[in-house]
Amino acid sequence: MTREPAMTAAYDELLAAARATVAAAALGDPEPLAILASYLAEHGQLPPDGARPAQLLALAAPARAGVA
């Protein structure tokens, strides 16, 4: 199965933002989540106020179930 080029690019950008966030945290950056939050904001994907991590992960469960 091949992914659309735009989807691949978006995934690569998200992965880079996540990795940069982890690297910033490891280096002691006082606000490492700013990198990932900025990426999510640019794409209209910030979680709503008060969202719980388990709820957000559950939203992805149906999509993961369909992936081989």
CA 41 to chain centre: 11
CA–CA separation, 6 vs 41, rounded Å?
Answer: 18
CA distances from 41 to 1, 36, 38, 48, 53 (A): 30, 9, 5, 11, 17
pLDDT value at residue 2: 61
Tell me the mean pLDDT per 10 residues along the chain, length 68: 79 96 98 97 96 93 65
Using DSSP, state whether 56 is helix, strand or coil.
Answer: helix
pLDDT value at residue 50: 96
pLDDT value at residue 68: 47
* Residue 54 token pair: 């388990």
